[in-house]
Structures are given as structure tokens and as C-alpha cells.
Amino acid sequence: MTTGLLYYNNLNLKTRNSDKLFYNKFRFCFRFQCVYLNIMGKDFSSARVSKLANMWHTIDEINIRKNHGGSWAGKPSKQTALSSESRERIVNLADFFRNNRMGNKIILHKNEAYFYTNDQSIHKYIAEEDLGCDERTEMIINRPAGTVKSRYKGYTQRSFFKQTYISKSQKQQLLQFINNNKEHIKINVGLKAFANSEKNLILRDYYHFDSPGKSYVSMFELMCPGLIRKTLNIHYDK
């Protein structure tokens, strides 16, 4: 009980609002962090972790003996440094992933992993074990699929740009559209910074503008064809 309470006191519990679950399927995401976590491999082999850790330890010992009295004597290489605490944590996490991979999703990176699940009973186990979990995110569905929310009233469409380089003439056309319709559309902070920068010609995929109808999107497509990635309906709570 005490361990579980400490876990929840130290864990960063987050919620994220969206129109869909993680990977369109999972409600919860747990993040685990530990150096060289990915050495367990896709088969989540604790034996592989132990084998590599032992091998690295042997390499460190050989390097220390070979360079006794040298300027870097006693310094293990960055690649082979793995503490006993990290080794134990990775072994425990590999066992956990291997035993719980069915029906869940696991993404491994070098020093962190993400575990996606709908099983709330797993929360208790993670709370009672030292697995290096520092964050849990719960996805909250707060709008219909394929929609976005806005704090600003009066808009029905949000159009996102493709991430791409554009020419100076394309940027001039884009700025002309913004200036001609500034009373009717709402651009986000990123697009505003892009518009105010003379040298920046890189559109980002998070740049967007809100408009009161599809006619503005059609107008933009005529002026700057091929730059819009997608347009979503804006959802307002009643």
C-alpha cells in the first residue's frame, strides 16, 4: 500500500482531450524511462538484458586493467556504463512487457518506452513495482471523431497546412489571403510568426487557420493550390 501511494504521489498523472483514443484503441499510456532500456529487444528478453550487461561489465574491467595508470584509467566507456539498479529495472520491465503484450501496445526507444492499454487492473501492479514509470496519460474523448475544438466562436472549419518549403511568390499569395480576410479568419500563433518573418519559407504542419465556411478554404486553394493538408469541422460544446 505504501509503495503504491508513493508511486501515485511521484507519478505525473495527465489527461489529454482528443477526438480519438491512442492508436484509435487505447485509453491509457504509461511512460517508462531508463538508460539503455531498448536492449531488451522486441522479444522483451530479460536473459538478453543480463547477457549484455555481463558482457559490458567484462569489457569495462578489461579496459580498466589494460589502461591501468593511463590518463583515462578506470573510466568505463559511455556505451557500456549500466548500473546494477538500471539492469534490475530493465529486467523487471522486460518481464512485465512480455507478460502483458497481448491486447496491449508497446513502443520501445533507446531510453524510454510507452505502454498502451485499456486494462485498469494493470495500474495497481505498476504502482507496486519499481518499473521506472514516471507518467500516465489518460485520453479523454471530448468531441466527435474528425473534429477539433476552438475557444473562439464563429468559425466552422480549421485548415491545416502541409509541412513543406514554399517559394517567395507562394508566401506572398498566402500573406495576401490572410490580409484580405483578416476580419473573417483566425490564424494560430505559429502561422502568425511565419507571416511576420521575411526569410522563413518553411510551412509547418501545425500551422492552421479557422474560417467561418468552406468558401474561404476554396478561395485559399485557388490562390495557393496544394498547400492545405486537411480541413476539419470545429466542434463547440452546447
What share of the chain has pLDDT > 90, as a percent? 60
Q: Across-strand partners of 18? A: 141
- Contacts of 147 by beta carbon, 8 Å cutoff, 6+ apart: 19, 232, 233, 234, 235
CB 36, CB 155: distance < 8 Å: no
**Rounded Cα distance, 83 and 87, in Å:** 6
Question: For residue range 12-47, what is the model confidence (pLDDT) as tens digits?
Answer: 789 999 999 999 999 999 999 988 888 888 888 878
What's the average model confidence in pLDDT over 194-198?
93
Sheet arrangement for strand 105-108: 12-18, 133-141, 28-33, 112-117, 105-108
Question: For residue range 54-92, what is the model confidence (pLDDT) as tens digits?
Answer: 776 665 555 655 555 555 444 544 445 677 788 888 888
**Rounded Cα distance, 20 and 232, in Å:** 14
What is the residue extent of each domain of the chain?
Answer: 2-141, 147-235
